[in-house]
Amino acid sequence: MSGALISADSVLRDSPFRKLLLSRLFAATAVQVQSVVVGWQLYSMTHSALTLGWVGLAQFLPMATLVLPAGDAADRLPRRLLLIASSVVMMLAALLFFVLTLSGTRSPVGFFGVLVMFGVARAFAGPSFTALLPQLVGEDRLPKAIAMNSSAFQIAVIGGPALGGAIYLAGPAVAYGLCALLFGGAAASVFRIRRALPTRADTTEQSAIQRFTAGIVYVRTRPIILGAISLDLFAVLLGGATALLPVYAHSILHTGPAGLGALRSAVAIGAFTMGIYLGRVSLNRRAGPVMFMAVAIFGLGTIVFGLSTSVLLSFAALATMGAADMISVFVRSTLIQLATPDAMRGRVNAVNMLFIGASNELGEFESGVTAALFGTVPAVVIGGLGTLAVVGAWMWIFPSLRRVDRLDDVSRKPVDAD
């Protein structure tokens, strides 16, 4: 494809894309820092592990509830302005955390209220950003842009938690102040984008329910998109070994808190390295088979990690899982973007976000339940075997996804049927 001839350097030379990428880096870093600080602060207040569960739920429920309307908004309103507004609301949430901390309150109620507000902002930010990216760079440069965006996110995942932990030593208020600055910087970076964007089709003649559910209908009738999204859902759901890392670090690998931190970073390091590689080398043939192979490697890596009693082998297995997952994310994201008309991208990406959120949340729950029933090691190994079984089943159920060769082939097919 023509995008295969475009290097990552040429994408980075594009000033509007650099500003969007910088916004992504600022916002993702702030989210990681804030997550560490809020969790630690609320646990210090309550000394209850259940509090940490409520922290995740307070952010997930608004996203799950509003993500479909948010996707519709991203298809009806200027995506750039929606992204700016979402970043500003996140900045205000960080400032409210700052004020609550300085007030000296020992009640977590106010913090949970702000977390709900933050979850609402993230629900609108996700579809707006993912739909704005192809609109800004065009389809030719989209694969490279997706790879660079994923790498920026992994930088935040690697560095954000460590930064949050270090800054917490100076006080949570200082950390929240930094988050507010980062979210403000994210909004300002998008505000500085001045590129004229193409107009989109008008969908105002549809009812609200029709608009909100249009993304679900579109995904359900496109086997390539449905197969790619659901493959990731079930692979992550079954292969969620990272939720059990504290158990492995403490009771199996005997490595302590420092080792736990290294193991947590291994997945992100593998993903970041692969993201840089994908940004330099075009994946322009056999995209479908490569995606299935990557998910299979993810499952094998899960099994190796589950059986390992060596810190180094476990680190290598987790890094391999991260690299394989990055390939899967890259192919899936590119297929979804290229197979979706611009007027539908907000709603389709909202459905994708809902699947991703469900797989992450439910994957941690599944890992905990199976570990309680069968033991930690069997639970992880069973999850890896389940991922391999899903790969085999999906190759049979979605042959059109298995047959995808060039990534941009799907953009030329109005309907793909199995």
Q: Is the pLDDT of residue 363 over 80?
A: no
Q: Domains in the chain and their CATH numbers?
A: 1-193 (1.20.1250.20), 210-410 (1.20.1250.20)
Q: Cα(387)–Cα(271) distance, rounded to whole angstroms?
A: 19
Mean pLDDT of 117-121: 93
What is the average per-residue pLDDT within 327-341? 84
| 111 has pLDDT over 90 | yes
CA distance 327 to 73: 30
Categorize the per-residue pLDDT at 318 as very low, low, confident or very high, splitting at 50, 70 and 90.
very high
Listed ranges 181-190, 213-222, 321-330, 361-370; the one with the highest mean pLDDT: 181-190
Q: What's the average model confidence in pLDDT over 295-303?
A: 93
Q: What is the mean pLDDT of the chain?
A: 82
User: What percentage of the chain carries pLDDT values higher than 70?
Assistant: 84
Task: Give the SS3 label for residue 6.
Answer: coil
Neighbouring C-beta atoms of residue 164, cutoff 10 Å: 25
Give the residue from 179, 222, 149, 198 showing the smallest Cα distance to 26. Answer: 179
Residue 169: CB atoms within 10 A of its CB come to 8
User: Could you count the other beta carbons within 10 Å of the beta carbon of residue 209?
Assistant: 8
Distances, alpha carbon 191 to alpha carbons 130, 185, 235, 351, in Å: 17, 10, 37, 26
| Cβ(360)–Cβ(253) below 8 Å | no
In tens, the pLDDT along 129-154 reads 988 988 888 777 888 888 888 888 88
Is residue 349 within 8 Å of 127, Cβ to Cβ? yes
44's tokens: 């210090």
Pairwise CA distance, residues 316 & 117, whole Å: 38
Q: Is 410 helix (H, G, I), strand (E, B) or coil?
A: helix
Q: Which residue has the higher pLDDT, 4 or 197?
A: 197
Q: Which of 57-61, 92-96, 143-147 has the lowest mean pLDDT?
A: 57-61
Q: Cα(351)–Cα(38) distance, rounded to whole angstroms? A: 28
Highest mean pLDDT among 322-331, 335-344, 365-374, 385-394: 385-394
